[in-house]
Structure 1
Amino acid sequence: MTVPKTGGIGRVRASTPGRPRWRAQAPVVAVVALGGGTGAAARYAASLWWPTPAGGFPWTILGVNAVGCAVIGVFMVVITEVWTAHRLVRPFFGTGVLGGFTTFSTYAVDSRNLFADGRVPTGLAYLAATPLAALTAVWLAAWAARRVLKWRQS
Structure 2
Amino acid sequence: MNVDLIKILAVGSGGFIGAVFRYLISVFAISQAPDSKFPYGTVAANLIGCLLIGLLAGLFELKSWGNPEFRLFIFVGILGGFTTFSTFSHETFLLFENGKILLSLANLAVQVLFGLIFVWLGYQLIRLFS
TM over 0.5: yes
User: What 5-or-longer segments of structure 2 have no aligned partner?
Assistant: none
Structure whose alpha-carbon radius of gyration is higher: 1
- Structure 1 position 127, deviation (Å): 1.4
What SS does the corresponding residue of 1:88 show, helix, strand or coil?
helix
Separation (CA, whole Å) in 2 of partners of 1:61 and 1:33: 21
Among 41, 66, 86, which residue is 2:20 paired with? 41
- Structure 1 position 85, deviation (Å): 0.8
One-letter identity of the residue aligned with 1:91: L
- 1:32 equivalent to 2:14? Answer no
Number of equivalenced pairs: 128
Separation (CA, whole Å) in 1 of partners of 2:16 and 2:46: 16
- TM-score norm. by structure 2 comes to 0.90
User: What 5-or-longer segments of structure 1 have no aligned partner?
Assistant: 1-19, 150-154
Match of 1:103? 84
Identical counterparts, % of pairs: 32
Structure having the higher strand fraction is 1
Among 108, 115, 121, which residue is 2:96 paired with? 115
One-letter identity of the residue aligned with 2:18: G
Separation (CA, whole Å) in 2 of partners of 1:103 and 1:61: 7
Match of 1:142? 123
- 1:125 equivalent to 2:106? Answer yes
More RCO (CA 8 Å, sep 6+): 2
